[in-house]
Structure 1
């Protein structure tokens, strides 16, 4: 795959009503034309809120919009036949398809069970009260509408380590399920935030139960056979023991008919934690570069006060470029969501140029940045907000530039706090480019590109600058950009 480029093909507030799968079928050819060659789909299985579920309140992994469960047959995005048609259309357009794997927790149980629990201190999960509470909880999943089709597995309290709501007595909080089948305490090899971040929400799946891990492996084989997907995006892995995903990834790669692209979401701004996780899974997954996203957020907030020379310091793409999936935004960081840290629209063209045109990492593009989004939701203060996410200026051209000009050896000129530049040398088959950007005033760089680029005429592919640049007999030239902007200079004959 030449210059792999991933599209996150949804956002948190994508409209319900079964519109997404048909939209992806219609857009498949245009995705290919704009330079996208991988698409990450939202969770395709039935969530606890049925046709309104974004997909992360996982209920039944084996219901891809086929059974009348949780108030609807279709998911928010469409029914199973529409899903399969979308995948087929994308793959025919030479676009690989990644499915979202949500196996940290389950929600929307079918029945209550009598269980025993210990209270847990919410901000320090290692503090587990010795007192045992007899109660009831929604921990039994029988999927009566599916009636054993595809899988006869019944989930009960023995499959879970924790819960956030009990009845008789009724209480909310974090509760450790007393479970003789898997032992005391929480899983190891999870993030150490809150002491131990095994528990996140809902009925927390316990991977020490071998029947559970075998069922999730079986589901992976089943979903690959049903969809013929090309890879997976793994949700919330900081809450799931690394030893489980190491074994799971080994299994799916072994049984898959082709090598799978796998990227995991470990949302931490500490690059050492990301590197530790990669070591625990033997480097068998890529990770989203959350530290780089935070750098982009901070740079967009601080404007000219941000030192652009440090934009990659402490990021995964700097420390381990072969395992980094770079991003400017996602469904969790968009306004009014849990990890809200939006990158301001003025800075997004600079950020996208940095991930799309440099040689390091696999870049991910966010659906609203290409197509826009408008929505309303309640903020943390209880007030209702109207959010408009605009189409990002020149992002379509940056995607095309990645495929046409992001080739060859990379040279960096990160030598000024506001104006930085880099070049790609090109190859025998493909031309290169010079990228200049400034987060302050209008900027320029006097660059030496070498004799191969002597006496060449250059134009800004993005059209932000009107002038031509002509390099001299040594390949030296002065390349400019507007303030708060980016220009991608390419040889005139390559246009």
Structure 2
């Protein structure tokens, strides 16, 4: 009894302090990249081939982990994998009008994963465990329609409907898994084939328990998101998903997961899935980052506590601060940029990001950080000493959705600064509404840097901010140079202070001038 009470009060481990973030022998900063956008495809290569050709460059940049798009067979030939049809098909079987997935074939994926490992880059699998789409045939069963704005309230009587809920996987012929999904393995559907009616139908009848209670309370109960909602309380479902977790890690030699739509999945099962997959795969440091999409830290913190340090979380509140700053421009007070974020409250649980495939203009979670604040946001996540940053393919590589050449060039300079200079304790100088700075003191093998960023737009072409910051007495008498523009000098006084500058609406990184 005493041991159980002790476990209740024992603080949860900090995910970023024990999970694998890259090669264990490396002394350099780790860095994640999301290597896809929603629409981008390569002109001549499959996506997996494209990724393979970029691996040497990513390694040189200092990337240690790559979040790949869902590798599973989708419901449609060009489906991104979030319309999950078969998790066990990585582009091997001729189904849904294609053998390969949107991203390529199984062989191409595995070849790219092997090359990534040779270059000491870890692979992260995007796990879509909430729902399925593209069933092979329909079944008839009892269901009740519910209100879209409150899934706890019925919008009509129970009725017999015809739903797409049977997954036979005949072409796969029980290879890898012999599990066959039927209506008993789901909680709800969004289409009645009999009446050709779209809606949200909660499946009733023998064996069905309704929506899970261990999900987010938005819309009354947010168990149902889309498609055919998986019942994670079903023992057969649990075992198949657990077996898949171990299998996908072993098949691809990946080291962990990005978990999609975690607020919609029974959190008791999800916690068990993470713990058990980690145990079965024998990966104590298995990396896991979860997507709980809300800019409200008060809603996110209970989920962080519920998962007991078994997963990091994307810092959506920080992203929303970046988005707000880009919209409000000069009116935004930069001293509030970290306020009410995971990075501020639980920095060792925070995977930080500026944008991703869902935040691009026109997407379902549109909250794009404009070019007027993009570099400032990246300076915060890449160069401060807290959180684990994830850069977005769409911000670095040419694409029709969101690319800006000048922005990409500056992000590359910030990535270089992260690899070479952004080490040691962080000291903040958040003194002005439109100009803040911070200093990294360096460590035994890396020098530090001084960083200033501005969101002042009036007179942006000529206005120069100046901010006094201390870089340590060990740098007394030294000269710092600008990293972003390769010009400008700052002399450090005997007490370690220097007056660093930055043009309005810009970012500047200052590093020690190497002695000739």
Same fold (TM over 0.5): yes
Q: 2:231 aligns with which of 172, 191, 206?
A: 206
SS at match of 1:135: strand
Aligned equivalents of 2:499, 2:487: Cα separation in 1: 14
Using the TM superposition, give the Cα deviation of residue 335 of structure 1 relative to its aligned residue in structure 2, in angstroms.
1.4
Q: Say if 2:417 is the partner of 1:417.
A: no
* 1:474 counterpart residue number: 495
Secondary structure of the 2:431 match is coil
Q: Which runs of 5+ in 1 are unaligned?
A: 376-386
User: Is contact 1:439-1:484 (8 Å) kept?
Assistant: yes
* Whole-angstrom CA distance in 1 between matches of 2:249 and 2:323: 36
Preserved contact between residue 426 and residue 441 of structure 2 (Cα < 8 Å):
yes
Q: Shift of residue 477 of structure 1?
A: 0.9
Cross-structure match for 2:242: 217
SS class of match (2:323): helix
Kindly tell me: are residues 98 and 245 of structure 1, through their superposed partners in 2, closer, same or farther at Cα, counting changes over 3 Å? same
TM-score, normalization by structure 2:
0.91
Are 1:368 and 1:389, in contact at CA under 8 Å, matched by a contact in 2? no
Aligned to 1:71: 97
Label 1:225 to 1:333 Cα distance change in 2 as closer, same or farther (>3 A): same
- Give the ranges of 4+ consecutive aligned residues of structure 1 lying more than 4 Å apart after TM superposition: 387-391
Contact 1:349–1:393 (CA<8 Å) still a contact in 2? Answer: no
Give the conservation status (yes or no) of the 8 Å contact 1:437–1:443: no
Q: Distance in 1 between matches of 2:233 and 2:271?
A: 14
What is the CA distance between 1:147 and its match in structure 2?
1.5
2:110 maps to 1:89: no
2:219 equivalent to 1:194: yes
Distance verdict in 2 for CA 1:401–1:35, change over 3 Å: same
Superposed CA deviations along residues 6-59 of structure 1, whole A, max 9, x for unmatched, are 000000012278621011111111101111111000000000012x11110000
2:455 to 439, 442, 451: 439
Structure 2 distance, partners of 1:420, 1:86, is 41
**Aligned partner of residue 400 in structure 2, secondary structure:** strand
The CA distance in 2 between the partners of 1:146 and 1:179, in whole Å, is 30
Whether 2:509 is the aligned partner of 1:493: answer no
CA distance in 2, matches of 1:399, 1:34: 7
Aligned to 2:72: 45
- Are the equivalent residues in 2 in contact too, given 1:345–1:392 (CA < 8 A)? no
In 2, Cα distance between equivalents of 1:392 and 1:306: 24
Describe the SS at the equivalent of 1:273.
Answer: helix
Q: Distance in 1 between matches of 2:497 and 2:403?
A: 43
CA 1:6–1:162: 2 relative to 1, 3 Å: same
Report what 2:6 is aligned to.
none
Match of 2:51 among 21, 24, 46: 24
Q: In the alignment, is the contact (CA less than 8 A) between 2:151 and 2:219 conserved in 1? A: yes
Distance 2:351 2:271 in 1: 19
Aligned residues: 481
Per the TM alignment, residue 450 of structure 1 is displaced from its structure 2 partner at its CA by: 3.1
User: Offset of 1:130 from its aligned partner?
Assistant: 6.8
Aligned partner (choices 333, 345, 358) of residue 307 of structure 1: 333
* Rounded Cα–Cα distance in structure 1 between residues aligned with 2:45 and 2:229: 29
- What's 1:368 paired with? 394
Task: Tell whether the 8 Å contact from 1:112 to 1:140 is kept in structure 2 after alignment.
Answer: yes
User: Residue 289 of structure 2: SS of its match in structure 1?
Assistant: strand
SS in 1 for 2:418: helix
Distance in 2 separating the partners of 1:428 and 1:92: 28
Deviations 1:402-450 (A, max 9, x none): 1111111110001110000000111122100000111115311012333
User: Residue 128 of structure 1 contacts residue 176 of structure 1 at CA under 8 Å; is this kept in 2?
Assistant: no
Tell me which of 400, 417, 420 is aligned to 1:404.
420
2:138 to 99, 112, 116: 112
Return the alpha-carbon distance in structure 1 between the equivalents of residues 455 and 351 of structure 2: 24
TM-score, normalisation: structure 1: 0.95
CA shift at 1:93, angstroms? 0.7
Deviations 1:364-413 (Å, cap 9, x if unpaired)?
000011112105xxxxxxxxxxx655452311111111111111111000
Structure 2 unmatched runs, 5+: 1-21, 23-27, 457-462
Query: Does the 8 A contact of 1:412 with 1:421 survive in 2?
Result: yes
Q: The residue matched to 2:409 in structure 1 has which SS?
A: coil
- CA distance change for structure 1 residues 95 and 179 in 2, over 3 Å: closer, same or farther? farther
Q: Deviations over 1:351-374 (max 9, x none)?
A: 111000101100000001111210
CA contact (8 A) 2:40 2:400 kept: no
Q: 1:478 to 1:11 in 2, by over 3 A?
A: same
Residue 225 of structure 1, CA deviation: 2.0
Structure 1 match to 2:127: 101
Offset from partner CA, 1:296-347 (integer Å, 9 cap, x none)? 0111111111000000000011111111000000000011110011111131
- Are 1:164 and 2:201 matched, yes or no? no
